[in-house]
Structure 1
Amino acid sequence: MRHLFLMRHAKAKKASGDMADHQRPLRKRGRREAAAMAVPLRRWQALEGELHVSDATRTQETFVEVAEQLSEFSLAERARFDEALYTFDGQALLAWLKTLPDEADKVLVIGHNPALLELADWLCGGAPDDLATGGVLHLTLADTPWHSVAQLSAELADSLSPEQASHAFFKRRAPEPPDLGKADLRHRICELLAHQCRMVRALEPGVIAGVDPEFLHQYRVNLRRSRAIGESVLATAEKPAGKKTPGHKKLPGLKKRLKRLKRRAQATSDLRDLDVFLESLDTTPPPLSPRSRLALQRWLHARHQTHHEALCQELNEPEYDDEMLDWQRYLTSKTFRKGLGRLSSGRIETVLAERILSHDHDLAAIDSESNDEAFHDLRKSVKRIRYLAELEPKRHRDFLAGLKRRQTLLGDFQDLCTRQVWINAFASDARNAPRRKEECDAWRAALQKEKLALREEIVALEPLAS
């Protein structure tokens, strides 16, 4: 099978003065776009074959930015800069393609639109309507000579834009957050949930691409915040003491939908934990030998790939799309908006006080010898308190600021526990490497000391109601 990668040059400056189109350089944004595509090109193995670049300034600079990100591969020595690729005509590009040698199984072309899209459409008929600057199309073809390539003989295997590869670029076009400066409580909740729903849908392509872990993190955050706000609404929708009608009766259907959000967020847990663990290996190298460290990275990446494939399969299922569309419709329904009309600041304060009292009771009940689960439950209670207080952020500004250290400590403790779980699993797989198991045992012992120090800090925290 042959692989053809068609990459459009990154964002370039407009021609000015006597500058010809051929001489247009990249903008600063264009250089960042090209750099962001280096990792996915490497993952796609697009740089392992022939590298063909238009001799225009903007395409050459696009290649240079990619090559500089992957300096260990010496890409510049293999690149061919061809004036024939400075074309905007798909048929001219096709004629060039047919001159490729038969031994070229993988080919990367960095060129120009509309020629790239016209060629892709001729080859597979399923090309997208647009190819963003810095974007790449991956086409697969049968293992036949290039000179005999036929119309509709290829398949579009994948496509990627800088906005899908880099969360930093995604943010430029992300849904705008609502202006809630003068919003009343009901309007605030409606707008927050609607915005988070839009963010979840907008983040999905980046999650599926799996290049930048920040997409998954933000996707997970928006799902969990939506669920937390919904649960806070249910808690505060209940009538005052003495009246037994529960909140879910006033907001029919909400509880069921929140369970769906919880399930979708839980599906990201292991993958997110793996992202955090892999990032920590770069910032804090583990106390392992180089060989064991390399084995650990490969082991973690293999599990990351498995979990990512499973998540992508879920996101591509019709059931997932139906659930998200249903959630979106529910947020604009009369049932939901009518139920929100019964909320009040007073009721929020009552429920918030109850949650704080419960948290303080749990905090007083633990000590440095308590099991890990007690500390995890404490972390969950802090998050529920925070999300409830955030329904009225101006009123609780100082209180929310004071929660940050508490939540950070509990989050760090959770990360250490998760890290130990993955180390245990890795060590269990190292049956024929006793030295590796010894190293993992020593590492776990070191993490246990860090956990003990965190336990003592957490136990020493003041009650929230003090």
Structure 2
Amino acid sequence: MRHLFVMRHAKAKKGDGDVNDHQRPLRKRGRRQAAAMARVLQQWQALEGQILVSDAARTRETLDEIAGQLQETSLVERARFDEALYHFDGQALLAWLKALPNEADRVLVIGHNPALLELVHWLCGEVPQALPIGSLLHVTLPDTPWSALEQHSAELAARLNPDEASHALFKRKAPVKPSLRKVGLAKRIRGLLEYQYRMVRALEPGVTAGVDPEFLHQYRVNLRRSRAIGESVLATTKVPGLKKRLKRLKRRARATSELRDLDVFLESLTETPPPLSPRSLQALERWLQARHQEQHEALCQQLSTPDYDEDMQDWHGFIISKGFHKALQKLSSKRIEAVLAERIAGHDRDLASLSIDSTDEAFHELRKSVKRIRYLAELEPQRQKRFLEGLKHRQRLLGDLQDLCTRQAWIDVFSTNSRNAPRRKQECDAWREALEEQKRALREQVISLAPLGT
């Protein structure tokens, strides 16, 4: 099987009287787009074969940004810059492709539209209607000579654009959060829930791509916030049909938990290198990446099922329904204050019962109670502004403690899988003890917190 990777150059400046089309350089956004696709090209193994680039300035600079991001200058040295690729006609590009040497099994072409899209359409038949700036297509072809290629004999294996590879780029086109400061309580809740629904759906392609972990984080945040708002509403008034829908949201959010924990753990290895030998650290990273891939594939499979789409559409239909709007009209500040007071009192009792030797689960339950209090208070953010500011430090302490507990759990599993490496197990035990000391310090800070009801 042969592999053809087709990439359109990143966003370039417009031509003018002094700069012709061939000389147009990349814009600042174009450089960010090319940099965002570097990791994708590496993951797809698109850089391992021949790299063929149009000799235009914007395609050259696209490769320069990719090489710079990966710190591999050899990419530019290996690349072949061909004026024949500075073409906008698909048939001319096809003739060029058929002239490739047969030993070229893996080829990356960085060129121009509409030629690239026309070429892929000839090869595959069904392809995306557009090839956005900086986008990449992966085409698999039969193991026949390039000169013998037949129309529609290839398959489109994957596609990705920069806005799906980089959350920073995605934000430019993300749904805009509505201004809800001066609206009533019912309208604010519906506005927030609808905005979060739109964010969840917009983030799904980036989550599936799995290149930038921030997509998963924001996807998870918006799912959990939707559920939390719904639970806060349910705690203050009766809403027929809401409870069963919140259970579905909870199930969808839970499917992201382990993958998000792995993202945080892998990121921590870079920020704070653990006390492991290079060999053990390498083994740990490989092991975590394997778990990460398993979890990501499972999540992608879930996102592609009809059940998932039905659940999300049902949720959206519910939050914009007249029945939900009518139920929200019954909400009152007085009732929210009463439920908030109950939750604060419960939190303070739990806090007072904690000791330095309490279980991790007890601290975790306290963390969940703080989150429930925060989400309830956020139903009226202006009224509860000072109170919400005071919650931040408490929630951060408990969140840091939970992260350490999760990290220890992964270390334990890794250590158990290292039975034939006693030295590695000793290193893991020492690391776990070091984390235990950090946890103890955080526990002391949590126990010393003042009650929320004071």
Which TM-score bucket, shorter chain as reference?
over 0.9
Q: CA RMSD in A?
A: 0.7
1:446 maps to which of 429, 434, 441? 434
- Quote the offset at 1:77 in angstroms: 1.6
Structure 1 residue identity aligned to 2:414: F
Separation in 2, partners of 1:35, 1:326: 38
The secondary structure found in structure 2 opposite 1:172 is coil
Separation in 2, partners of 1:71, 1:204: 30
Separation in 1, partners of 2:124, 2:420: 48
- Quote the offset at 1:218 in angstroms: 0.2
Separation in 2, partners of 1:165, 1:218: 14
Residue in 2 aligned with 1:206? 206
Q: What pairs up with 1:61-76 in 2 under 5 angstroms?
A: 61-72=61-72, 74-76=74-76
1:399 maps to which of 354, 368, 387? 387
Distance 1:315 1:73, change over 3 A: farther
- Quote the offset at 1:358 in angstroms: 0.5
Structure 2 residue identity aligned to 1:29: R
Runs of 5+ in structure 2 lacking a partner?
none
1:267 maps to which of 255, 258, 269? 255
The secondary structure found in structure 2 opposite 1:37 is helix
Separation in 2, partners of 1:257, 1:101: 57
Separation in 2, partners of 1:325, 1:156: 28
Residue in 1 aligned with 2:451? 463
Q: What pairs up with 1:98-113 in 2 under 5 angstroms?
A: 98-113=98-113
Residue in 2 aligned with 1:412? 400
Separation in 2, partners of 1:406, 1:412: 10
Q: What pairs up with 1:24-423 in 2 under 5 angstroms?
A: 24-72=24-72, 74-237=74-237, 247=238, 251-423=239-411
Residue in 2 aligned with 1:431? 419
- Quote the offset at 1:73 in angstroms: 6.6
- Quote the offset at 1:463 in angstroms: 0.3
Structure 1 residue identity aligned to 2:69: Q
Separation in 2, partners of 1:384, 1:16: 57
Structure 1 residue identity aligned to 2:13: K
Separation in 2, partners of 1:150, 1:157: 18
The secondary structure found in structure 1 opposite 2:104 is coil
- Quote the offset at 1:74 in angstroms: 1.8
Q: Size of the alignment, in residue pairs?
A: 454
Q: TM-score, normalised by structure 2?
A: 0.99
- Quote the offset at 1:142 in angstroms: 1.0
Separation in 1, partners of 2:409, 2:419: 17
The secondary structure found in structure 1 opposite 2:365 is helix
The secondary structure found in structure 1 opposite 2:150 is coil
Separation in 2, partners of 1:64, 1:72: 10
Identity %: 70
Structure 2 residue identity aligned to 1:263: R
Separation in 2, partners of 1:373, 1:18: 67
Separation in 1, partners of 2:53, 2:385: 54
Runs of 5+ in structure 1 lacking a partner?
238-246
The secondary structure found in structure 1 opposite 2:299 is helix
- Quote the offset at 1:72 in angstroms: 3.8
Separation in 2, partners of 1:73, 1:231: 53
The secondary structure found in structure 2 opposite 1:180 is coil
The secondary structure found in structure 1 opposite 2:172 is helix
Structure 2 residue identity aligned to 1:333: S
After superposition, give the CA deviation of every residue in 1:135-179 in whole Å (9 maximum; x if it has no partner): 100111111111111110111111001100000000000001111
- Quote the offset at 1:321 in angstroms: 0.4
After superposition, give the CA deviation of every residue in 1:429-456 in whole Å (9 maximum; x if it has no partner): 1111111001000000000000000000
Structure 2 residue identity aligned to 1:422: W
Separation in 1, partners of 2:31, 2:54: 17
- Quote the offset at 1:58 in angstroms: 0.2
After superposition, give the CA deviation of every residue in 1:253-282 in whole Å (9 maximum; x if it has no partner): 110000000000000000000000000000
The secondary structure found in structure 2 opposite 1:193 is helix
Separation in 2, partners of 1:134, 1:463: 53
- Quote the offset at 1:403 in angstroms: 0.4
The secondary structure found in structure 1 opposite 2:88 is coil
Residue in 2 aligned with 1:7? 7
Distance 1:367 1:329, change over 3 A: same
Q: TM-score, normalised by structure 1?
A: 0.97
Structure 2 residue identity aligned to 1:434: P
Separation in 1, partners of 2:181, 2:370: 25
- Quote the offset at 1:181 in angstroms: 2.0
Structure 2 residue identity aligned to 1:183: V
Structure 1 residue identity aligned to 2:362: A
